[in-house]
Amino acid sequence: MSTWNFAAIAQGIYETSPDLPWLSVAENLDSPECRIPDADALKIVVDIFQRITKKPFPSEVFVRKWRNPDVQWSFVRAALSSPEQIVFWESSNEVLIIAEGLVPPVPPALMNFVQPYTSIPLGMTLFSITWVAVSSF
């Protein structure tokens, strides 16, 4: 897939369906067949979304309740495992504020790793996914 021209794919999708409700498309990733294997695959999905809409991918899609929590986990895991920030979790405006001096300062090189975990909706989603997995045993 590395030889695919995703800019051309995004342009073709947009030209074919310019009025497609893209937030609804993103919300419908909650499908049993729609699993994201890794951060590279998620980056392609996010990149196509951003090329078409000219907006950041809505992180709230990942933190709402899904019918398929295992699929949701594949997306969240891919986003969190990426060395670069693919999804901007702070867009929810519900973030933990850590009092200065309470924990050591985070080195700038680790900010992309630490920043997602300040998102309250992401924390609640991780708890919910874990609860579903544990209660299914």
Domains of the chain: total: 1
* Domain ranges, residue 113: 6-135
C-alpha–C-alpha distance, residues 9 and 59, integer Å: 23
Position 87 in a domain? yes
Give the confidence band of 92 by pLDDT, cuts at 50, 70, 90: low
**Amino acid sitting at position 85:** Q
Region 109-135: mean pLDDT is 77
Position 46 in a domain? yes
Position 1 in a domain? no
Helix (H) or strand (E) holding 132: helix 120-135
Task: Determine contact, residues 38/81, Cβ cutoff 8 Å.
Answer: yes
Region 34-48: mean pLDDT is 92
Task: Determine contact, residues 53/18, Cβ cutoff 8 Å.
Answer: no
45-84 pLDDT, tens digit per residue, is: 999 889 888 888 888 888 889 999 999 999 999 988 887 8
Task: Determine contact, residues 68/30, Cβ cutoff 8 Å.
Answer: yes
Give the confidence band of 116 by pLDDT, cuts at 50, 70, 90: confident
Position 65 in a domain? yes
pLDDT reported for residue 38: 94
Local structure of residue 94 (DSSP, 8 states):
-
Q: Comparing 115 with 17, which gets the higher pLDDT?
A: 17
Region 29-54: mean pLDDT is 91
